Amino acid sequence: MLKDSRIIKGNGKGVQYLNFVIIAIVVVLIAIVLTKIFKSFKLGADTAGDIAGGVLIQHQTGITPARQTTCRSAARECEMALTRLPFFGTIAWIDHNRIIQALNSLISAKEAILTCEIFKTLDGHDTLKYIVDNDMQSQNQAKIKPIIRENLV
């Protein structure tokens, strides 16, 4: 049935190598797409729990539910700005502008801390502080409001 699964026909070593590379790229792309689909399903399920916890968080932090929504959106934007290698979790690409824009939508230190906590639960790998301090160039770090940058955890 799968007698000849080569993409490019031929017998040379170069053709075999090229077939392997093409198949590997396709497998990685499929894994990335499946990861993005899974994240979008998870996002919908998390929304219901966020509504219930909004009042409790307001009691603890003083951040209104409307601003909590901004914090959740910023954390999700930061998480979506990261492209990780499937199966390894290593960051392959960072959309710096998306992270800068998301963090600059915050207005207080408490919001920065809440956003970091939400990001930790979404991402599960790194903290926003680590990403901003270690994976962003200083010129991009400078574009983030100082009050927010100083309170990332």
* pLDDT, tens only, 86-104: 888 888 899 999 999 999 9
Closest by CA position to 80, among listed 36, 130, 31: 36
Residue 4 or residue 39, greater confidence: 39
Sign, CA dihedral 89-91-95-96, equals positive
| Tens of pLDDT, residues 117-134 | 999 999 888 999 999 999
The pLDDT > 70 percentage for the chain reads 88
The whole-angstrom separation of Cα 36 and Cα 147 is 32
Q: pTM of the predicted model, to two decimals?
A: 0.68
The phi and psi torsions of 82 (rounded to 5 degrees) equal -100, 130
The whole-angstrom separation of Cα 94 and Cα 131 is 9
The whole-angstrom separation of Cα 121 and Cα 18 is 40
